[in-house]
Amino acid sequence: MVEERDQGDHQAAGSQIPEALDGEKKWTGKAMDKTKDAGEKGPRTRIDPAGEETRPAYWRTRILPVEEEILRRNKIVSRFPEEAMTDQINLLRTQVLHRMERLGGNTLLVASANHGEGRTFTCLNLAISISHELNQTVLLVDADLRRPSVNRLLGLESRKGLSDYLLGTAEIPDLLLNPGMDKCVVLPAGRPLPNSAELLGSQRMNALVREMKDRYPDRFILFDGPPLLACADSLVISRILDGVLLVTEAEKTPAKDLLRAMDLLKDRPVIGAVLNKARA
């Protein structure tokens, strides 16, 4: 459940995002070669004149299908409509999209006070659930450049990602991957970095987020950030995002830590809080 809280230099990013994310194409239903490089062609799903759903195709984003067994083991349940917890994730999705629509934004930081409180679990499940919306596509950015975990929970090997882009050693189209799910693309964190706060606060990061936000206002972009009390990274990136969702764990997150986290976010657009593992 989400509890609502009242809230009180752009550089051109070049053609990297447009190259990877422009256009749309309907699938023909034929088998796709899932080992080849592909790029996402559409900002959202459309309905063709015959009333059939049009799904985004991929021609450069690398498609790396994740194993269902790994998703179930890591409790990434929103992939499976038969799971009881999926309904709760879908309710969270509805609340989040409604509050972000009120803010007029499409970029959301998912944060927590400490490690191990279900932040990445929530972020991944929320991303997949949002991608099931008829007219919604999702980009999930692993912005935890110190202890990245999105790839691990998806059962994917570590690879280049956001940190490599910020260091200028890779370009965005070469970093995006599709985990074998319609309308869902992941930008991995890349190699861990000790100076991540400086990179996340750089003009290069600012320009990248602006390009993501402005090019496709109908695309929802989730950022999985490191714990607020562990480092300054999430606070830094929250300055350039539209909203913040705070994740806590029942009977684990100390009240003093939650208060400290809320105090750090007092000038940020916090849309609510998620309480993980709460007893019914």
pLDDT at 43: 40
Higher pLDDT: 92 or 194? It is: 92
Averaged pLDDT score across all residues of the chain = 81
State yes or no: pLDDT of 261 exceeds 90.
yes
Q: What is the mean pLDDT of residues 180-205?
A: 94
Secondary structure class of 27 (helix, strand, coil)? coil
Rg of the Cα atoms in the chain:
18
Q: What is the mean pLDDT of residues 125-140?
A: 93
* Cβ 66 vs Cβ 73: under 8 Å: no
Rounded to the nearest 5 degrees, what angle is found at the Cα of 164, between the Cα atoms of 229 and 237?
A: 35
pLDDT at 39: 39
Higher pLDDT: 157 or 11? It is: 157
Name the DSSP class of 189.
-
Which residue shows structure tokens 């990245």? 148
Q: Token pair for residue 15?
A: 């053609």
Q: What is the mean pLDDT of residues 5-17?
A: 39
* Cβ 156 vs Cβ 148: under 8 Å: no
For 69-84, how does the pLDDT look when each residue is reduced to its tens digit (9 = 90+)? 999 999 999 999 988 8
pLDDT at 279: 63
State yes or no: pLDDT of 13 exceeds 50.
no
Burial 116-128 (b: 16+ CB within 10 A, else e): ebbbbbbbbbbbb
Q: What is the mean pLDDT of residues 196-216?
A: 92
pLDDT at 215: 80
Q: Rounded to the nearest 5°, which phi and psi values hold at 155?
A: 75, 25
For 150-167, how does the pLDDT look when each residue is reduced to its tens digit (9 = 90+)? 999 999 887 899 999 999
CA–CA distance, 247 with 244 (Å, rounded to integer):
10
Q: What is the dihedral of CA 72, 74, 76, 81, to 10 degrees?
A: 20
Q: Rounded to the nearest 5°, which phi and psi values hold at 234?
A: -65, -35
Higher pLDDT: 236 or 276? It is: 236
Q: What is the mean pLDDT of residues 238-255?
A: 94
Q: What is the mean pLDDT of residues 176-202?
A: 93
Q: Cα dist. 228→80, 102, 194, 197 in Å?
A: 31, 25, 16, 12
